[in-house]
Chains A and B, each alone.
Chain A
């Protein structure tokens, strides 16, 4: 049979679709299911087409950098893991440590690593500021050219008040430190990022994508206020700022969230006279959705998160090893690298093309998230900004309300986490394998606001299960 001519189908409109669906779906309750009521406070149709869709073009970073997270509690092991990661293709390294070690320990941690070739990122929590100055010395002593050094130190006083209830130093002092670190970096390390907006914490504490964006913008404005008060040029802040946004497995929302943030932060920067600002966005794989039981499932979740991050245009991705919910990772660092390698191969990413630009669904979703996030940001701004909204509990109330609903939906089964409240592997035991040392309590004794706490959604249920397991093991013995 000869092929029919192409293009002999008449055009269809949204109205045609509605007429068609009414033929097949007559139950009003079923029709209701065609609208997705997201937890972000807006509704989404089951599909969109080119009616009312305005395609947006956002140049993607081309290659999404893989930033290897390495827990540096054991210095020698961390250095070995770092060297192996570089050899295996990690684009940059991210050392996480609760406190700064001695000079010898730092030398051991950075042994055989070239900060000019491999950007190094650090989070030494309370020691971040001290580390900046030590790192500058380290680079000079080891004859690296600071002008060529990229990387960052995760200095973020705005997150101290979010998670700790106060700044580590008094607010006035924190402001002075902000000024001095920014001056030091812009002078010594022109390509280095020192101001961080860890907005992903909003999601880890139970907030949604809209809240995450709004708070990220509000935190940025607060930093700009500090800069303004201390006579620092806006450009200096925008040159050295880095955003850490969450990567969750709510795939389409996450892609659109990244796109929406890129649009809004450009706009915010423009308001300060910085045009065509290209933000440095590090997508951080979420911990909240991960599990202790059937931990290999976390690889699937991280894959979805990475796919979303790449399609959304993140500059880099940091993933939690799949087993770090219950033990200190060793071999699983490589698995996280393989995720991004495989995805990069799959997507054949070689151009700066925005691969999802034009998608009717994602463009509509991007706009909805942008508009609602901007409204929430304006509300925070109206109430005197981020710090004031933490002091008056506005931000916490928004997030805690949602977190409580999520927890109650999870306990009732309305919100599912595979292998925890659905599809359990009942034969699996975890008690003997669990060696995780929980994070230190970040809360400050002299609180000026209520601190938020990051928590995995399945934490309570999994701990209860482990408790039952150990009780039954004791009974058997």
Chain B
């Protein structure tokens, strides 16, 4: 006998998860920011994608920048190998500086870049710049209002000391910590925001997170998975290293495909509430705050 399907109501297998009591009524944009820094996240605050061409050759850098700019990119991170005033002239030859944001992996390159700007009569304060630095360098960088400092962090516990030591710089501070696997990375990002919110001097302080994509030294699959985790975890930026042969590789397209084809950015904290993730997040918060 054929059943009468119209008489059936959909029944859902209810979850009796032992972690159900962990669920919190949090919303994005409000402290403790577990679910994201902004109420609308990527719709009003799109994730920044930074490209880091892995070469110190000024001509190669110039070529890469031109190619990337022509495809709509504008955020470029430069490596730690020293670059001179002459090098910067080659790097930015025939490039409109107004279209870019620059990031530096060393203070030396940041200073030589500033020299270059002076030589070109460019107003340094108009540039958005980010620098990888250490906590000790932060006071010297305070003078530069347009500078965002990115601190590398290996363990979540380091956040507590950073939060308590640093004052007045929260708006220009970002953290990059070691990404691990998919769920662990997402949980680490969520718990970092919570820990920061609970330990920083200003309880409304919002923590920016940057995720380094493994890039060409690793495989495309791992890089894609970590990039998805960055979006899911609510990162503010990702940085993608590009090998000298990047034009023939797909790494450059990871964020493009995620942005254009997956609709992931149509939501905030898509996995928020998932028992597995909430348990991990809670464990990270509790272990760190102990």
Report which A residues bind B (CB closer than 8 A): 1, 3-6, 8-9, 11-14, 16-17, 20-21, 24-25, 30, 33-34, 36, 44, 46-51, 53-58, 221, 224-225, 228, 249-253, 263-264, 266-268, 271-272, 289, 294, 296-297, 299-301, 303-304, 307, 338-339, 342-343, 345-348, 353-363, 367, 370-371, 374, 377-378, 381-382, 416-419, 422-423, 425, 427
B10 contacts across to A, CB distance below 8 A? 263-264, 267, 370-371, 374
Q: Which residue of A lies closest to B161 (CB)?
A: A1
Q: A224-B2, A339-B221, A418-B261 are in contact. List 11 more A-B contacts (CB 8 A).
A: A6-B286, A12-B30, A24-B29, A47-B267, A252-B267, A296-B249, A307-B225, A357-B274, A359-B274, A361-B272, A423-B253
Q: Which residue of B lies closest to A339 (CB)?
A: B221
Q: Which residue of A lies closest to B28 (CB)?
A: A47
Q: Are A250 and B40 in contact (CB under 8 A)?
A: no
Q: Are B181 and A4 in contact (CB under 8 A)?
A: no
Q: Which residue of B lies closest to A374 (CB)?
A: B10
CA–CA, A353 and B32, complex, Å: 28
Stretch at the interface among B13-21, B56-64, B140-148: B13-21
B253 contacts across to A, CB distance below 8 A? 294, 297, 300, 418-419, 423
Q: Does B139 sit at the interface, judged by CB under 8 A?
A: no
Within 8 A of A (CB), among B217-275: 219-222, 224-225, 228, 247, 249-250, 253-254, 256-258, 260-264, 266-275
Q: Are A44 and B261 in contact (CB under 8 A)?
A: no
A34 contacts across to B, CB distance below 8 A? 40, 43
CA–CA, A303 and B253, complex, Å: 13
Q: Does B164 sit at the interface, judged by CB under 8 A?
A: yes
What is the minimal beta-carbon distance from A49 to any residue of chain B, in angstroms?
6
CA–CA, A132 and B237, complex, Å: 54
B201 contacts across to A, CB distance below 8 A? 1
Q: Which residue of A lies closest to B72 (CB)?
A: A423
CA–CA, A423 and B253, complex, Å: 8
Q: Are B260 and A416 in contact (CB under 8 A)?
A: yes
A417 contacts across to B, CB distance below 8 A? 260-261
21 intermolecular pairs with C-beta atoms under 8 Å apart: A3-B198, A25-B40, A25-B44, A30-B44, A36-B263, A46-B40, A47-B27, A47-B28, A49-B27, A50-B25, A55-B17, A221-B2, A225-B2, A263-B13, A267-B11, A271-B5, A296-B249, A303-B220, A339-B221, A370-B12, A416-B261
Q: Does B52 sit at the interface, judged by CB under 8 A?
A: no
CA–CA, A49 and B143, complex, Å: 41
Q: Does B108 sit at the interface, judged by CB under 8 A?
A: no
Given contacts A55-B15, A303-B220, A359-B274, contact A12 B267 (CB under 8 A): no
Q: Does B26 sit at the interface, judged by CB under 8 A?
A: yes
Q: Which residue of A lies closest to B6 (CB)?
A: A378
What is the minimal beta-carbon distance from A230 to any residue of chain B, in angstroms?
14
- Select which of B16, B19, B271, B289 is within 8 A of A362 by beta carbon: B271
Q: Are B225 and A423 in contact (CB under 8 A)?
A: no
Given contacts A30-B43, A294-B253, contact A251 B228 (CB under 8 A): yes
- Most chain A beta-carbon contacts within 10 A, residue among B3, B197, B203: B3
A360 contacts across to B, CB distance below 8 A? 272-273
B271 contacts across to A, CB distance below 8 A? 356, 359, 361-362
Q: Are A359 and B25 in contact (CB under 8 A)?
A: no
What is the minimal beta-carbon distance from B234 to any residue of chain A, in angstroms?
11
Q: Are A58 and B13 in contact (CB under 8 A)?
A: yes
A359 contacts across to B, CB distance below 8 A? 270-274, 277
A11 contacts across to B, CB distance below 8 A? 24-26
A294 contacts across to B, CB distance below 8 A? 250, 253
- Select which of A46, A56, A296 is within 8 A of B13 by beta carbon: A56
Q: Are B268 and A47 in contact (CB under 8 A)?
A: yes
Given contacts A57-B13, A301-B257, contact A253 B222 (CB under 8 A): no
Chain B residues with a Cβ closer than 8 Å to the other chain, count:
82
Q: Are B14 and A56 in contact (CB under 8 A)?
A: yes
What is the minimal beta-carbon distance from A95 to any residue of chain B, in angstroms?
25
What is the minimal beta-carbon distance from B70 to any residue of chain A, in angstroms?
9
CA–CA, A354 and B256, complex, Å: 29
Q: Are A20 and B274 in contact (CB under 8 A)?
A: no
- Select which of B221, B270, B275, B276 is within 8 A of A303 by beta carbon: B221
A48 contacts across to B, CB distance below 8 A? 273
Q: Does B192 sit at the interface, judged by CB under 8 A?
A: no
A264 contacts across to B, CB distance below 8 A? 10
Q: Which residue of A lies closest to B43 (CB)?
A: A33
CA–CA, A251 and B219, complex, Å: 20
Q: Does B285 sit at the interface, judged by CB under 8 A?
A: yes
Q: Are A57 and B273 in contact (CB under 8 A)?
A: no
Q: Are B264 and A251 in contact (CB under 8 A)?
A: yes
What is the minimal beta-carbon distance from B191 to any residue of chain A, in angstroms?
11
Q: Does B39 sit at the interface, judged by CB under 8 A?
A: yes
B44 contacts across to A, CB distance below 8 A? 24-25, 30
Given contacts A228-B2, A252-B267, A370-B10, contact A300 B15 (CB under 8 A): no
Given contacts A300-B220, A359-B274, A417-B261, contact A16 B30 (CB under 8 A): yes
B119 contacts across to A, CB distance below 8 A? none
CA–CA, A221 and B8, complex, Å: 15
Q: Are A362 and B270 in contact (CB under 8 A)?
A: yes
Given contacts A6-B289, A381-B5, contact A50 B261 (CB under 8 A): no
- Most chain B beta-carbon contacts within 10 A, residue among A346, A361, A377: A346
Q: Are B182 and A347 in contact (CB under 8 A)?
A: yes
- Most chain A beta-carbon contacts within 10 A, residue among B27, B268, B289: B27
CA–CA, A294 and B198, complex, Å: 46
B92 contacts across to A, CB distance below 8 A? none
- Select which of B1, B27, B228 is within 8 A of A17 by beta carbon: B27
CA–CA, A416 and B253, complex, Å: 13
B39 contacts across to A, CB distance below 8 A? 17, 20-21, 24-25
Q: Are B43 and A46 in contact (CB under 8 A)?
A: yes
Q: Which residue of A lies closest to B42 (CB)?
A: A46
Q: Which residue of A lies closest to B180 (CB)?
A: A346
What is the minimal beta-carbon distance from A197 to any residue of chain B, in angstroms?
17
Q: Are A346 and B225 in contact (CB under 8 A)?
A: yes
CA–CA, A53 and B268, complex, Å: 16
Q: Are B264 and A338 in contact (CB under 8 A)?
A: no
- Select which of B15, B28, B222, B269 is within 8 A of A56 by beta carbon: B15
A25 contacts across to B, CB distance below 8 A? 39-40, 44
CA–CA, A345 and B225, complex, Å: 11
CA–CA, A172 and B289, complex, Å: 70
CA–CA, A268 and B12, complex, Å: 13
CA–CA, A251 and B267, complex, Å: 12
CA–CA, A355 and B15, complex, Å: 12
Q: Are A367 and B12 in contact (CB under 8 A)?
A: yes
CA–CA, A5 and B273, complex, Å: 22
CA–CA, A381 and B225, complex, Å: 40
Q: Are B40 and A24 in contact (CB under 8 A)?
A: yes
What is the minimal beta-carbon distance from A235 to any residue of chain B, in angstroms?
15
A56 contacts across to B, CB distance below 8 A? 12-15
